Amino acid sequence: MRGKSTVVRERVRDVVTTVLQHGSYRHPARERLVETGNSIVAGWLGIAEALERQGETTLAGDVRNFTQRMPRALTDKERQALEFAQQNWAKDQTAAARPDRIQERTR
């Protein structure tokens, strides 16, 4: 388990370093990943249209709702960077909500 955490830490460090140096992170496989995701959504929407033509309007609506709720396509590194950013944001929000605790720790 320890090796896995080291690998994840290194991946996140690579992404964070890139963001700090360039202001953003763009994985080389990103474009292909987005194309694949768009194809998947198009396929589901095609199914929704077919269901609509068959009179299955409720089921077609469920399929459309499903496609709208699909998470956006991310590479492993992008997902890890997002999780890292969300964790840090949550820590920042907690600290902002409790400034008295920060002062207590710095005394």
pLDDT tens by residue, the chain, 107 residues: 455 577 777 777 777 777 777 766 677 788 898 899 999 999 999 999 999 999 999 999 999 999 999 988 888 777 877 777 777 776 666 666 665 555 555 54
Instruction: Report if pTM > 0.95.
Output: no
**Cα 95 to Cα 90: distance, rounded to the nearest angstrom:** 9
Domain spans in the chain, listed from the N-terminal domain onward: 1-27+76-107, 28-74
- Cβ atoms of 73 and 36 within 8 Å: the answer is yes
